[in-house]
Amino acid sequence: MIITLFGCKENTKKNITTKDSTILNRSDVDSTELTNLIRNVYNWHENNELEDFPYEYQEGQDSIFIGIDWDKYRNNIEIFEKTNFFSVEFLNKHNQIAKSIDSSIRKADLKWRNRNDGISLWETGANDWCGCQDYPDNYWKTLTIDSLILNKHIADFVWTWDKQMSHTYRVKAKKENGKWKINSLNGFKYFYTTQEYDKMMKDEN
């Protein structure tokens, strides 16, 4: 069964049956829980300076990176897990991105691996958690969700920080052990496979 909601507005449908009323009430609860989740996630993200994919640097160098710093990465993931905000699937996909980046970096020529050259091939140049570059201060305090689609234990929706919905960012959540957790965030779609990174470097040569 799929329930589609647009925004969190009150439903005005007449002659709602008892079954329909139960579904709508459940949807309202889910909408509230998801709004609280996404606000808490971005509040936490903006107030904790954790690198998603920290670099390991060549010994004796502070600018030449050679791959993912797996000690830092694992430490950060442990912190992610303790928040209870993220699904197992999200953490697995995050790890797969890290492995792809690491594999690609470790076989890349030196010219691609100098931190002093600016944004590297393996960075998006944006906030990875939304794919956005500019956003209002404390946006998480007032953000709202819209276009909510519920399909059993999966929720698909967008969030925005203004009523005009001038900027929207897609999120998927998954219910694990009765609790909604982040399953995917918009910005992470801008990371690629090792093969795709290889092609980018080849095309630039």
In tens digits, the chain (205 residues) has pLDDT values of: 444 443 444 343 344 343 444 444 567 899 999 999 999 999 999 899 899 999 999 998 889 999 999 999 999 999 999 999 999 999 999 999 999 999 999 999 999 999 999 999 999 888 888 877 777 888 889 899 999 999 989 999 999 988 777 789 999 999 999 999 999 998 899 999 999 999 999 998 7
Are residues 54 and 102 in contact, defined by beta-carbon separation less than 8 angstroms?
A: no
Per-residue confidence (pLDDT) for residue 164, from 0 to 100: 79
Q: Which of 190, 194, 199, 196 is nearest to 101 (CA)?
A: 194
Per-residue confidence (pLDDT) for residue 77, from 0 to 100: 97
Per-residue confidence (pLDDT) for residue 199, from 0 to 100: 94
- Angle between helix 194-204 and 88-106 (nearest 10): 40
Return the domain boundaries, the chain: 2-10+18-154+168-204
